[in-house]
Amino acid sequence: MPTTIYLVRHGSVVGAETRRFIGHLDVPLSPRGEREAAALARRLASVKLAAAYSSDLSRARRTAEILTGPHRLEAVAVPALREFAMGRWEGLTAAEIRALDPAAFDAWMADVGRFQFPGGESLGDVAARVWPALEAIEARHAGGAVLVVAHGGPNRIVLCRALGCRSSAFSPWARTTRPCR
């Protein structure tokens, strides 16, 4: 029997309207994010979860806490499920990054899949930590239903790999979605 993984991105965060690169910055859920998580908790209340896991960043942990409330489960924090480390770009807007380092910004836009954030990670770095973590979770709960709360970047990597897409197919920054192969 296959394992069912409910892959969830954390709710909206405080300051989301500024559209800053958050990465490993530990920002809390906003009131909107709390409401989003509560709405999803109601939808998942009838699912029989065997376990729950989340990134160790507070926005993912809090989302998981809300989602697991009806199940009387406690999510296990897994640092490997963290968002991209965006290095020197964390806390900055795209306009600020473009002004500070236009060449790096253009390189990022030209090839998200191969770009390494200055002082941070590349897509390959994130995939190398996220996929093994997910495989370990799946192996621990074979045949069960598991909640995994992470971030946009890691979740896109998991979805691309599961669907057989190139890793950059669902880039949050791409102007168009590239097809799966």
pLDDT per residue over 118-159, tens digit each? 999 999 999 999 999 999 999 999 999 999 999 999 999 999
At 55, is the secondary structure helix, strand, or coil? coil
- pLDDT over threshold 60, residue 10: yes
The model's pTM: 0.89
Predicted confidence at residue 152, as pLDDT, reads 93
- pLDDT over threshold 50, residue 173: no
Cβ atoms of 104 and 88 within 8 Å: the answer is no
Rounded Cα gap, residues 180 and 140, in angstroms? 29
What is the pLDDT confidence band of residue 176, given thresholds at 50, 70 and 90? Answer: very low
- Residues designated as active site: 10, 83
Predicted confidence at residue 111, as pLDDT, reads 85
What are the boundaries of each domain within the chain?
A: 4-163
- 23 conformational bin, left if phi > 0, alpha if psi -120 to 50, beta if neither: left
Please compute the mean of the pLDDT values over residues 55-59 and round it to a whole number: 98
- pLDDT over threshold 90, residue 162: no
Give the angle subtended at the CA of 141 by the CAs of 71 and 147, to the nearest 5°: 40
Neighbouring-strand partners of residue 9: 150
Cβ atoms of 47 and 54 within 8 Å: the answer is no
What class, spelled out in words, does domain 4-163 have in CATH? alpha beta
At 181, is the secondary structure helix, strand, or coil? coil
Distances (CA, A) of 147 to 4, 63, 109, 124, 174: 9, 11, 32, 24, 28
Q: Which residues of 4-34 are buried (b: 16+ CB within 10 A; e: fewer)?
A: bbeebbbbbbeeeeeebbbbbeebebbeebb
